[in-house]
């Protein structure tokens, strides 16, 4: 009988210009979600330093834009009052759009003092400001032993609310400018739920891998990757299946689900044969993999 992988490969063939997934037995990639959200304030330099210290392969982070068009690292288009304090350590009242603030104004907000109520194991880091992408690159470049660590950069966008951020074409232009140094392009991939951004970026920087984020549905993932020229599909961990992983691997596409935080979730994804796992607790995942002889 012809194997499933051979059959799929015969049907879809490899994606042009896309490197294949990790070979069997290859090291599973550990991605620290927002740095290490379970342990340090998310998307801060403190979280990224922690992630580097525990040995992540990739730091996952989110980008939004300020009024004066600086790329800054935050998951939300509006500042989250549960994890950020306003100027003078005041609690944030109302909705504060990052896009409405200049970088200097944004620097007055403290996003390290409040512990995220969802993560009781998180250690606060008082005074942490929302960093710029440039500061994250500098951290990587100046940290001894971090030469091989990469960034998984998510461009945040709500297609139905174009007033909140850049349009796709502008996102691609600004990202291309931020990645103009070859050494930086070589250590990143860009992901987004707004696949228009990925398409625009691929047209400008074809050498930069793109990852299509998939949320609450499971479309034809091979066709999605082929359409975008995506090297990676990053699905909700609860929606990915063994046949979908096999089909993507046969098409030369890597699979890196989000966001898995428990040994049960890690074990299931390892059994599915994924190429990496995005987690809020990278130290826990690394310990789990070591215990299984996988790292």
Buried b / exposed e across 222-237, counting CB within 10 Å, b at 16+?
bebbbebbbbbbbbeb
The alpha carbons of the chain give a radius of gyration, in whole angstroms, of 19
Q: Is 195 a catalytic residue?
A: no
Determine the Cα–Cα distance for residues 53 and 204; give it in Å rounded to an integer.
34
Give catalytic status of residue 75 as yes or no: yes
Beta strands in 71-219 (DSSP E): 71-73, 150-155, 188-192, 210-214
CA 278 → CA 206, 225, 257, 266, distances in Å? 24, 19, 6, 10
Residues in the chain: 295
The single-letter DSSP state of residue 26 is P
Q: 70, 75, 195, 249: which is the annotated catalytic residue?
A: 75
Q: How far is CA 203 from CA 56, 172, 175, 184, in A?
A: 30, 9, 12, 18
Catalytic residue from among 33, 70, 195, 249 = 33
Residue 214, strand partner residues: 235
DSSP state of 162: G
- The three-class DSSP label of residue 45 is helix
- DSSP string spanning 53-66? HHT-SEEEEEEEE-
User: Catalytic site residues?
Assistant: 33, 75
């Amino acid at each position: 009988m012809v194997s499933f992988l051979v059959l799929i490969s015969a049907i879809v063939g490899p994606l042009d210009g896309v490197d294949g997934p990790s070979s069997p037995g290859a090291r599973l990639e550990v991605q620290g979600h927002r740095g290490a959200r379970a342990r340090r304030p998310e998307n801060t330099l403190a979280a990224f330093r922690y992630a580097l210290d525990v040995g992540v392969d990739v730091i996952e982070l989110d980008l939004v834009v300020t009024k004066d068009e600086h790329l800054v690292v935050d998951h939300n288009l509006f500042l989250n009052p549960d994890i950020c304090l306003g100027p003078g350590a005041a609690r944030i009242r109302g909705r504060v759009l990052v896009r409405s603030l200049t970088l200097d104004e944004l620097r007055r907000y403290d996003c390290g003092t409040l512990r995220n109520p969802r993560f009781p194991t998180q250690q606060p880091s008082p005074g942490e400001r929302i960093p710029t992408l440039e500061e994250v690159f500098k951290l990587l470049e100046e940290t001894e032993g971090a030469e091989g660590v990469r960034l998984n950069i998510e461009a945040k966008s709500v297609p139905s609310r174009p007033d909140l951020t850049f349009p796709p074409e502008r996102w691609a232009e600004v990202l291309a400018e931020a990645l103009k140094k070859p050494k930086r392009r070589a250590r990143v991939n860009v992901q987004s739920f707004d696949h228009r951004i990925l398409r625009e970026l691929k047209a400008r920087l074809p050498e930069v891998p793109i990852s299509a984020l998939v949320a609450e549905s499971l479309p034809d993932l091979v066709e999605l990757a082929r359409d975008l020229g995506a090297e990676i599909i990053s699905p909700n961990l609860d929606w990915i299946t063994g046949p979908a992983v096999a089909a993507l691997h046969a098409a030369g596409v890597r699979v890196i689900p989000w966001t898995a935080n428990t040994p049960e979730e890690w074990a299931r994804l390892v059994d599915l044969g994924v190429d990496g796992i995005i987690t809020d607790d990278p130290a826990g995942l690394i310990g789990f993999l070591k215990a299984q002889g996988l790292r």
